[in-house]
Amino acid sequence: MESSKRLLRTSCLAVLLMAITANSAFANDIDAQEGVASYYSDRFQGALTASGEAFDQQALTAAHPTLPFGSKVLVTRPDTGQEVEVLINDRGPFVQGRIIDLSKQAARKLGMLRRGVAPVMVTLLD
């Protein structure tokens, strides 16, 4: 019984270490990513982000699954050429196929408020 518990703990630790390594490798090795962007609902205004900051719909911020907090990225719509620079301060999006979740102000600058989602290219700036 004790050996199965030890094996389970070791396996969990190995999976956790692989996930951390994969996330940091992604953040450091990939300069650009293509996919779909969405934006936060108004109901999140004032809620705490994963970085501990209060969410502000008027700030130029975004959530990304793996990039370090404080990273600056350029989000570009290839279909329109519109772009906006945002600061990563949260985790997400948590919807399959989406790569970044933007504040309402950032989504406004990309002209995507009406549709709610848009194809984007995310380029790491720092």
Question: Alpha-carbon distance 113 to 123, whole Å?
Answer: 21
What backbone phi and psi angles, to 5 degrees, belong to 76?
-125, 135
List the chain residues with pLDDT less than 50. Answer: 4-28
Residue 71 half-sphere exposure toward CB, CA atoms < 13 A: 24
pLDDT at 24: 41
- Angle at CA of residue 55, ends 62 and 123, nearest 5°: 10
Q: What is the pLDDT of residues 56-73, one digit of tens each?
A: 999 999 999 999 999 999
Q: Residues 1-15: pLDDT tens digits?
A: 555 444 334 433 333
CATH no., domain 31-124: 2.40.40.10
pLDDT at 21: 38
pLDDT in the model for residue 126: 73
Contact call for residues 87 and 70 (beta carbons, < 8 A): yes
For residues 120 and 75, the answer to whether their CB atoms sit within 8 Å is yes
Residue pair 62/105 in contact (Cβ under 8 Å)? The answer is no
Domain boundaries, the chain: 1-30, 31-124
